[in-house]
Structure 1
Amino acid sequence: MKVLFIEDDKIETMKLLRTVSKLDTKHTITEAKNGEEALNILKSDADLPDIILLDLNMPKMSGIEFLQILKADSVMKYLPTIVLTTSENRADLLECYKIGIAGYVLKPLKYEDYEAKIKKVFEYWEVNELVKA
């Protein structure tokens, strides 16, 4: 799968890359440090990702602002977007689902728990019929 990973924290990025490298299947991870950078990647001539993993708390543009722009686009609105966040704020959760996310995953503190959750997310999306936008 082609994955767009939107995260401003370098440690979180390293965690994801380390976890994905341990999976049986190979995935292409494109990194963006914020929502603006992600939109530039999505609007470039590059192929669109199969899924997007999105942090909510980022500089320049929050994850929710990014989602609003993404889901307003006639083509990009079909990209499955999974929020990967530390925010347990119920208002964030409800707003994200209202906008149209495909999932909301809380980042656990322990690396082993993080690894297990990410593995499940990838396994789930590997068996889904993904829209090729």
Structure 2
Amino acid sequence: MRTKIASRPIEILLVEDSKGDIGLIEEVFEEARIRNNLHIAEDGEEAILFLNKKGRFLDAPRPDIILLDLNLPRKDGREVLQEVKGDPNLRNIPIVVLTTSKAEEDILRSYDLHANAYITKPADFDQFVKVIKSIEDFWLQVVKLPSK
């Protein structure tokens, strides 16, 4: 497998409230051969504060990509998606919806709100690891991300 050497680490914002999923995603990205910084927001309000560099996130980097769960406390992922894609300063950040929902209405709504991809989290551990690795392979190694 070839590795790509980035001039700077890829900044990833993971918006996820499941401690188990966070731990697994952190583990997979730590094993990645591409330099990345994984930042965690455990609810939608925290994600918006991070993106707008407010509160404890004054020094937060601009993410190169956002991995977004839909079912979040305080502000759900649909609201975050709508707010980010409606903001001219943030809308070009790719957002990959990574959720347990298989509902057609969630898929359609996410794409209507301009999600860049919609992935359903598998229940099986090995499949979940494969999905996260495929996100890493495609979004961090293949795709050309906007530089700001």
TM-score, structure 2 length as denominator? 0.86
In the alignment, the residues of structure 2 paired with residue 11 and residue 117 of structure 1 have an alpha-carbon distance, to the nearest angstrom, of 15
**Offset, 1:86:** 0.5
**Offset, 1:24:** 1.9
Q: Aligned residue pairs: how many?
A: 133
Higher helix share goes to which structure?
1
The alignment's C-alpha RMSD in Å is: 1.0
Q: Calculate percent identity across the aligned residue pairs.
A: 34
Runs of at least 4 residues off by over 3 Å: none
Larger Rg: 2
Secondary structure (helix, strand or coil) at the match of 1:76 reads: coil
Secondary structure (helix, strand or coil) at the match of 2:47 reads: helix
Structure 1: unaligned runs, 5 residues or longer: none
Partner of 2:137: 123
Partner of 1:96: 110
Partner of 1:46: 60
Partner of 1:28: 37
Matched to 2:147, the amino acid is: K
Structure 2: unaligned runs, 5 residues or longer: 1-9, 54-58
**Offset, 1:42:** 0.8
Report matched runs for 1:81-92 at 5 Å: 81-92=95-106
Matched to 1:130, the amino acid is: L
